[in-house]
């Protein structure tokens, strides 16, 4: 089955024995992947609780939330949230979710675990850099969490940290003192961690593939991770200098982003000549590719999982899906200005950014149509993993549709900075990408921990979550159409007050849906200790991770070097079983 002479021995290191080396400062990509996943799990829980807190405040503005004064006596005296604390919680929610959940779990988490296995490499190309990348990210997380505990509290400028609110320092308001500095430092560390990660993904994909694993035979999940790593390389390399310049404006008196003549609270600021728009350009040049970093791995994971549960390959094979992901990644660098249509930049640029933004809808539409067309004629099997994958298609459609509106400046002029935008990005990121993470979790948990997850609990988790997310985020579109402005701590404008009941509905839906996630947490915990033992290939799937034990041995394939003969999604073939593993030699007769 595998040819041991296929490649020379590439042992990076022997299996570690000491606890610290094995579980803490591990060089093993599988451990590192699990560490990232674990960090993302902690982060998503914190981010979710933050959203409950500030959403409760939106629905019931004067309510005292018991215990909140313990977290911040200044921010919530007597448990009643102040407007600045609302903004702090909102800022931290966005930052934690975008960076530590959506960039970590689908890309660094699953990618680190499965990319080497899916190409039958023993480990990532640079295990020490890989370890450093996780621990740098971990330090970034700690620095960010520290912002909760400084005197002035976490920053209030949103995850986008627009200058001059973020660049003038303390004078701008509570939260804009040490909290903002810690935020910037955290982001800086995060960039470095991600760059080290991207380095590993790219080098490993290009150079450590096993014999027979041509690029076109890599599974779509590996393709997605590779493309994401390429995007991330340039994106994070742009955010890091931006963050440094912002920190200098705040601490060293420079004027990159702060113009002359600023008078904050009757005090003239010493800056001169800086451009607040410069920050926006630097940020969104990173920021837009970043959201594609969040979605493309989820896309790849779903595209990888669905064939196993449809028992047929994707319509159009590898090329169409790879083409869609590559086109989207490439175009993602040309559209950043669509976040800035009304920012004060030259209105003519709005049109030049709008065109590629609308064009980007094409590869995503084609990919969605391919998903739909692939289901036609399939033998659909329903498991938690496949339900979340099918759900992904639905929520991705819902989220993508609102993109058509936002891409046009003449409509954005009305819905910019309203809940319409909040609806759009939550659907594509908080829902679709999370569905991808859930699908991957249910699909790969048996391989990672060697035990099967409870399917009944998984399916219950799916139904509750699927209904819940629509209840939470669909109404936000209507709020936006009614002109409900975002990042408001309370609604005191005449035309927004009648919308508060909708906010209450959304908050209740959010609390219930959040509670439903406990089912997933419980399932994870229960599986780890008491789940039934998982076979090597419980889903009858074809890719390389299913031709090694659950969980895989230290060097992934137990000393063997698998040779690949088949394309990754040979399902629906004739013969005693309806699939052919990638490692099986011979020619495949498709039906």
Partner 1 sequence: MASTTYPPARPVAKPVMAMPGARALGDQRAVATPQAAATQTGIWVCVCAIFMCFAALISALVVREGASTDWRHLALPRILYFNTLVLMLSSYTLEVCRHRFAASVRQEAGPSETPLPDLFPWLYATILLGSIFVVGQYLAWRALEASGFYLATNPSSSFFYVLTAMHGLHVLGGMAGLIYMARRLARSVSIKQASALGATAVYWHFMGFLWIFLFLVMAIRL
Partner 2 sequence: MGKVFCVLLVIITLVSVYPIIAHTWWPPPTISTTGPSVDRQLDETMVGTGVLFISSQLILAGFVWAFGGRKGKIKNWPGGHKPVVAFGIIIVGLEILSLTFVGSKAWAAMYLAPPNEHALRVDVQAEQFAFFFRYAGPDGVFGGVHPELISDATGNYFGLDLEHDVASRDDIVVGSLTIPVDTPILLTLHSKDMIHNFYVPELRLQQDIVPGLEIPLHFTATKAGHYEIVCTQLCGLGHYSMRAFLDVLSQPDFDAWLKQQSGD
Round to whole Å and give the CA distance between 27 and 25. Answer: 7
Q: Which is nearer to partner 2, 174 or 531 (CB)?
A: 174
Name residue, tokens 């530590």.
Answer: 100
Residue 161 CB, shortest distance to partner 2, in Å, is 10
Cβ atoms of 114 and 32 within 8 Å: the answer is no
Q: Which is nearer to partner 1, 222 or 383 (CB)?
A: 222
Pick out residues in 19-38 that bind partner 1 (CB under 8 A).
Answer: none
SS3 labels along 95-127: HHHHHHHHHHHHHHHHHHHHHHHHCCCCCCCCH
SS3 labels along 224-237: HHHHHHHHHHHHHH
- Rounded to the nearest angstrom, the gap between the alpha carbon of residue 531 and the centroid of all alpha carbons in its chain is 28
Where does this chain touch partner 1 (CB under 8 A) — which range of 4-12, 25-33, 46-54, 299-307? 4-12
Pick out residues in 275-294 that bind partner 1 (CB under 8 A).
Answer: 275, 277-278, 281-282, 285
Residue 570 CB, shortest distance to partner 1, in Å, is 23
What number of residues does the chain have? 591
Q: Which is nearer to partner 2, 69 or 343 (CB)?
A: 343
Q: One symbol per residue from 109 to 148: x for binding partner 1 (CB under 8 A), - otherwise; what is it?
A: ----------------xx----------------------
Cβ atoms of 448 and 34 within 8 Å: the answer is yes
18 binds, among partner 1, partner 2, none (CB under 5 to 8 A by kind): none
Pick out residues in 420-439 that bind partner 1 (CB under 8 A).
Answer: none
207 belongs to the binding site for partner 1 (CB under 8 A) = yes
79 binds, among partner 2, partner 1, none (CB under 5 to 8 A by kind): none
Residue 547 CB, shortest distance to partner 1, in Å, is 20
278 binds, among partner 2, partner 1, none (CB under 5 to 8 A by kind): partner 1
Residue 447 CB, shortest distance to partner 1, in Å, is 24
Q: One symbol per residue from 296 to 325: x for binding partner 1 (CB under 8 A), - otherwise; what is it?
A: ------------------------------
**Residue 66: burial class (beta carbons within 10 Å; 0-12, 13-18, 19+):** exposed
- Rounded to the nearest angstrom, the gap between the alpha carbon of residue 256 and the centroid of all alpha carbons in its chain is 30
What residues contact 515, with CB distance under 8 A and at least 6 apart? Answer: none
Residue 277 CB, shortest distance to partner 1, in Å, is 8
Round to whole Å and give the CA distance between 47 and 112. Answer: 23
**How many residues lie near partner 1 (CB under 8 A)?**
47
Name residue, tokens 């034990």.
Answer: 549
Round to whole Å and give the CA distance between 25 and 31. Answer: 9
The alpha carbon dihedral of 472, 290, 328, 434 has a sign of: negative
Helix (H/G/I), strand (E/B), else coil: 579: strand
282 binds, among partner 2, partner 1, none (CB under 5 to 8 A by kind): partner 1
What residues contact 155, with CB distance under 8 A and at least 6 apart? Answer: 88, 91, 147, 161, 166, 175, 176, 179, 180, 183
**Binder of partner 1 out of 137, 255, 269, 418 (CB under 8 A):** 255
- Rounded to the nearest angstrom, the gap between the alpha carbon of residue 55 and the centroid of all alpha carbons in its chain is 22
Q: Which is nearer to partner 1, 52 or 129 (CB)?
A: 129
Round to whole Å and give the CA distance between 252 and 249. Answer: 6
Residue 357 CB, shortest distance to partner 1, in Å, is 21
Residue 136 CB, shortest distance to partner 1, in Å, is 14
Helix (H/G/I), strand (E/B), else coil: 16: coil
253 binds, among partner 1, partner 2, none (CB under 5 to 8 A by kind): partner 1
Where does this chain touch partner 1 (CB under 8 A) — which range of 48-56, 269-277, 377-385, 461-469? 269-277
Q: One symbol per residue from 235 to 254: x for binding partner 1 (CB under 8 A), - otherwise; what is it?
A: -xxx-xxx-xx--x---xxx
**Binder of partner 1 out of 1, 142, 260, 342 (CB under 8 A):** 260
**Residue 334: burial class (beta carbons within 10 Å; 0-12, 13-18, 19+):** middle
Residue 99 CB, shortest distance to partner 1, in Å, is 18
Residue 30 CB, shortest distance to partner 2, in Å, is 32
Residue 129 CB, shortest distance to partner 2, in Å, is 37
- Token pair belonging to 156: 């209030």
Helix (H/G/I), strand (E/B), else coil: 163: coil
Round to whole Å and give the CA distance between 281 and 277. Answer: 6
> Omega into 551 within 30° of 0, i.e. cis?
yes
> Omega into 164 within 30° of 0, i.e. cis?
yes
Q: What is the DSSP letter of 554?
A: T
3 belongs to the binding site for partner 1 (CB under 8 A) = yes
15 belongs to the binding site for partner 1 (CB under 8 A) = no
Q: Which is nearer to partner 1, 248 or 397 (CB)?
A: 248
Residue 559 CB, shortest distance to partner 2, in Å, is 37
Q: Which is nearer to partner 1, 254 or 368 (CB)?
A: 254
338 binds, among partner 1, partner 2, none (CB under 5 to 8 A by kind): none
Q: Which is nearer to partner 1, 256 or 466 (CB)?
A: 256
Q: Which is nearer to partner 2, 139 or 411 (CB)?
A: 411
267: which strand partners?
Answer: 264
**Which stretches of the chain bind partner 1, using CB under 8 A?**
3-8, 10, 12, 125-126, 195, 198-199, 202-204, 206-208, 211, 233-234, 236-238, 240-242, 244-245, 248, 252-256, 259-260, 272-275, 277-278, 281-282, 285
């Amino acid at each position: 089955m595998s040819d041991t002479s296929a490649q020379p021995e590439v042992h990076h290191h022997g299996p570690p024995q000491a606890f610290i080396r094995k579980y803490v400062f591990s060089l093993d990509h599988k451990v590192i992947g699990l560490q990232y996943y674990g960090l993302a799990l902690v982060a998503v829980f914190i981010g979710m609780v933050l959203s409950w807190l500030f959403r409760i405040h939106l629905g019931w503005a004067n309510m005292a939330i018991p215990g909140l004064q313990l977290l911040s006596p200044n921010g919530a005296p007597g448990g009643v949230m102040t407007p600045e604390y609302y903004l702090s919680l909102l800022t931290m929610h966005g930052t934690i979710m975008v960076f530590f959940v959506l960039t970590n779990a689908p890309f660094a988490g699953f990618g680190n675990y499965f990319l080497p296995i899916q190409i039958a490499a023993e480990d990532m190309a640079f295990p020490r850099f890989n370890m450093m990348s996780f621990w740098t990210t971990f330090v970034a997380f700690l620095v960010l969490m520290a912002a909760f505990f400084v005197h002035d509290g976490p920053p209030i400028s949103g995850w986008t940290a627009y200058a001059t609110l973020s660049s003038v320092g303390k004078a701008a308001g509570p939260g804009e003192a040490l909290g903002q500095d810690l935020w910037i430092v955290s982001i800086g560390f995060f960039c470095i961690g991600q760059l080290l990660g991207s380095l590993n993904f790219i080098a490993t994909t290009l150079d450590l593939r096993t014999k027979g694993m041509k690029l076109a035979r890599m599974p779509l999940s590996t393709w997605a991770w590779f493309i994401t790593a390429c995007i991330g390389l340039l994106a994070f390399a742009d955010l890091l200098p931006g963050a440094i310049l912002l920190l200098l404006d705040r601490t060293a008196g420079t004027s990159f982003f702060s113009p002359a003549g600023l008078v904050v609270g009757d005090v003239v600021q010493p800056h001169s000549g800086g451009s607040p728009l410069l920050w926006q350009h630097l940020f969104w040049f990173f920021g837009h590719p970043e959201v594609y970093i969040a979605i493309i791995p989820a896309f790849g994971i779903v595209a990888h999982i669905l064939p196993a549960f449809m028992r047929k390959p994707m319509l159009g094979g590898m090329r169409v899906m790879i083409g869609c992901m590559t086109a989207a990644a490439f175009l993602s660098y040309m559209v950043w200005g669509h976040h800035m249509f009304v920012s004060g930049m030259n209105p003519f640029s709005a049109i030049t950014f709008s065109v590629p933004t609308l064009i980007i809808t094409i590869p995503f539409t084609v990919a969605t149509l391919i998903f739909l067309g692939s289901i036609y004629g399939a033998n659909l099997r329903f498991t938690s993993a496949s339900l979340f994958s099918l759900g992904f298609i639905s929520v991705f459609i819902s989220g993508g549709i609102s993109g058509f509106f936002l891409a046009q400046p003449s409509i954005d002029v009305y819905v910019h900075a309203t809940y319409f935008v909040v609806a759009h990005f939550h659907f594509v990121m908080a829902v679709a990408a999370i569905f991808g993470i859930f699908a991957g979790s249910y699909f790969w948990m048996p391989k990672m921990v060697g035990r099967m997850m409870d399917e009944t609990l998984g399916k219950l988790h799916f139904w509750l979550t699927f209904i819940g997310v629509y209840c939470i985020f669909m109404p936000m579109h209507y709020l936006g159409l009614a002109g409900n402005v975002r990042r408001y701590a309370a609604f005191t404008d005449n035309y927004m007050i009648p919308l508060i009941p909708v906010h209450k509905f959304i908050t209740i839906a959010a609390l219930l849906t959040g509670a439903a996630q406990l089912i997933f947490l419980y399932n994870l915990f229960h599986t780890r200790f008491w789940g039934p033992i998982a076979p090597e290939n419980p889903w009858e799937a074809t890719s390389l991770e299913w031709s090694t034990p659950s969980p895989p041995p230290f060097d992934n394939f137990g000393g063997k070097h698998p040779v690949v003969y088949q394309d990754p999604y040979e399902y629906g073939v004739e013969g005693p079983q309806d699939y052919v593993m990638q490692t099986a030699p011979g020619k495949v007769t498709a039906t």
